[in-house]
Chains A and B, each alone.
Chain A
C-alpha cells in the first residue's frame, strides 16, 4: 500500500493507544450487555425505523441526478451522471451498463482512518450496489452506453450498503433514468434470537463477530427490492444462520422495504413539484426578460429609423450641393 507521507506515521510495530482504553478491553459479554441496556432505553422511546430516514434529491448541481440519504447516523451522498459510450470495449453491447463506485470518506469510520485508495471492502460494496440497482434500470433503452453511479459514504454507522442502495435509487430517478420500479433496501443484524432492523455499527459488529464457542445464529442481511413488482434484486448475507431464521428475517425486511416506499415516493414527488416550480419561475423570468428586450429593441429600432432618415437627408443635401 502506498505510504501517506503527509502525516506522521508511527513506527511499523506501533499500536494505536485506543487498544489500551477500557472501552477496547471490554469482553464480548460486556459489550453485549451494554448494547442490550442501550436498546432497552431506546425501546422506551419506541421509534419506528422506517421513519428515521431522511432523504433529499438534487443535492449536487454538477451531476445529472443526485441524492442524499441519512439512515440513523449513516450519511450517504450519491450522484448519477449522463450516459456515455462505454470506454475501451471491443464488442457492441445491446444492454446499457451501469458502473458503480462506493467510496468511504477518510473520516467516515469511528475506529480508524480510511485510506483514500479503494480496498477490498470498497470493491465488494461497489459490486453489491451494481447487483442491486441493475435489475431496476431499463437497460435496453441505452444500448452501448454506460451510466456512472458514485456513492460516497460520509459517515458510516452501520447498514451503509442499504443506505447506498436507497440513495442510488433516488439519484437514478432524479436523473430521469428509465426504471421499472422504485428500489428500496433495508438491512438487519441478527444475534441469537434478537433481530436489529437497520443496525448501527455496534450492533453490526457484534453480530458479525459472535462467540465461536456457542452455536448461535449470528449475521447481517441486506436486502433490496422492487416492491411494486415484488422482486428481490439483491440479497446479501454474512454470518451463520439457520434457514428458518433467514426466512423469518427475509419477511421482516420485505415489509420494511415496502414501508419505505411511500416515503421515497414522497421525496420523488416533492422533487418533481420543486422542479416544476423552478421551471415555472424560469419561464416567467424568461418572459420578463423577453419583454424588456423587446422594449429595448423597439426603442433602438426607432432611433435607427430616425438616424437613417437623417443620413438620407444628408446625402440628398450633399448631392444637391
Chain B
C-alpha cells in the first residue's frame, strides 16, 4: 500500500508482536481501531457518508440517475462503483497513479454486491423493461491509513442507508416513451433496503497469524491478505419490533490481495474469523446509523463535516 516507509527492524518488531498477540497500538488481533461515521455530508448527492477509521478517511457519495434497464434483466436496476484515490492521500496517486488500487477496490465491491441476496436490484426498478434507477456509488479516498477495503464497505453501506430515492408522482405514457414526474418534496422519498448489503473484512496475514484491521505499517509487513465479503443482517437496521427471521450470514465474495499465498488450512480458519468479525461490525454499524437517523428526524443533529 502506498505511503509509509518502515525499516527492517520495525518490521521485525511488528511481526514478533503479532506472534504474541500484541500490536503496536495496544490492540489484540481481533480489535478494530476507533471509527467515526457521519452521514449526509454532501448536499449534491442523494446519500453520502464519511468514515474515518484512525487515519483512513473515506467519503462516499451516492448519486441517482434514471436509466433504461438492460434487456436481459428488465426488472432490475443498476449499481456502479467508482473509486477515486485522491492525491491528498499520497503524492503517488497524482494523475493516474492510484488507478490500479482504485480498480482493485471497485471490482471487489462490484463482486460483493453482485448477488441478489446481498443487494436486491429489484428495488431500483421503476417501470419494468423501460426505466430503472441507476445508482452511482462514488468513493473518494482522502487518506490511507491501512485497511481500505473494510472502511470503504462500511462507508458505502452507510451512504446507501442514507440514500433517498424520490417517489414517482405520475407517469405519462406517450407512445412507447414514458415521461416520469418525480416528487419535489424531499420528505416524499423512499429509503433503500440495504439490510443485507455486504461488509468486507480484510484479514492480514502477519507471520503465522491473521489480524483484522491492519494499520498501514502492518500492511507493509504482510505479503498476503484475504478479503471476505459477508452479507448483513437486516435486523440490525430496523427500529420497529416486527422481527424478520434471522438470516444466516453468507459469504458474498472472497478474494486474495498481495503477492503471497496461503495454505488451505489458514484460509479456512481465516474465512470463519472474517465472518464473525463482519457480524460484529454489522451490528455496530446498524446501531450507529439508527442513532444518527433518530437525531436527523428530531432535528437534533449537528453537522460536523471536516470542521470537527
Q: Which A residues contact B (CB, under 8 angstroms)?
A: 13, 15-16, 19, 24, 95, 120, 123-124, 127-128, 131, 134-135, 139, 208, 210-212, 215, 217-219, 221, 225-226, 229-243, 246-247, 250, 254
Contacts and interface: CB of A to CB of B under 8 A. Distances in A.
B251 A246 contact: yes
B180 to A, nearest CB: 17
Most buried by A among B114, B122, B272: B114
Given A230-B264, A237-B251, A243 B259 contact: no
A211 B264 CA distance: 31
Given A120-B107, A250-B264, 13 more contacts: A13-B68, A19-B71, A127-B103, A131-B256, A212-B120, A219-B251, A231-B263, A235-B267, A236-B254, A237-B255, A238-B111, A246-B251, A247-B268
Interface residues of B, number: 39
Which 3 pairs from chain A and chain B are nearest by CB? A212-B116, A231-B261, A240-B115
Interface in B111-133: 111, 114-118, 120, 122
B114 A239 contact: yes
Contacts of B169: none
Nearest to B272: A243
B63 interface: no
Contacts of B111: 236, 238
Most buried by B among A127, A221, A239: A239
Contacts of B231: 240
B257 interface: yes
Contacts of B259: 95, 134-135, 139
A134 to B, nearest CB: 5
B256 to A, nearest CB: 5
B186 interface: no
Nearest to B223: A135
Given A123-B107, A127-B103, A243-B251, A212 B263 contact: no
Contact of B261 (A123, A135, A239): A135
A230 B255 CA distance: 18
A242 B115 CA distance: 13
Given A123-B103, A212-B117, A238-B114, A230 B263 contact: yes
A207 to B, nearest CB: 10
Contact of B267 (A19, A232, A242): A232
Nearest to A132: B256
Most buried by B among A219, A221, A240, A241: A240
A201 to B, nearest CB: 14
B156 interface: no
B267 A238 contact: no
Given A208-B114, A219-B115, A235-B256, A226 B261 contact: yes
B268 A250 contact: yes
Majority-rule SS of B interface residues:
mixed
A185 to B, nearest CB: 13
Interface of B: 68, 71-72, 103-104, 107, 110-111, 114-118, 120, 122, 224, 226, 231, 247-248, 250-257, 259-264, 267-268, 271-272, 275
B228 to A, nearest CB: 9
Nearest to A95: B259
A188 to B, nearest CB: 13
Most buried by A among B103, B226, B261: B261
Nearest to A236: B255
B77 to A, nearest CB: 13
B255 A212 contact: no
Contacts of A243: 250-251, 271-272, 275
B116 A210 contact: yes
B139 to A, nearest CB: 15
B11 to A, nearest CB: 14
Contacts of A226: 261
Nearest to A121: B107
B247 A215 contact: yes
B256 A127 contact: no
A19 B226 CA distance: 40
Contacts of B263: 230-232
B49 to A, nearest CB: 24
A16 B71 contact: yes
Contact of A237 (B117, B247, B254): B254
Contacts of B250: 217, 240-243
B45 to A, nearest CB: 22
A68 to B, nearest CB: 26
Contacts of A15: 71
Contacts of B68: 13
A247 B71 CA distance: 36
Most buried by B among A127, A208, A226: A127
A160 to B, nearest CB: 16
Given A16-B71, A215-B117, A246-B271, A239 B252 contact: yes
B86 to A, nearest CB: 20
A247 B270 CA distance: 11
A238 B109 CA distance: 11
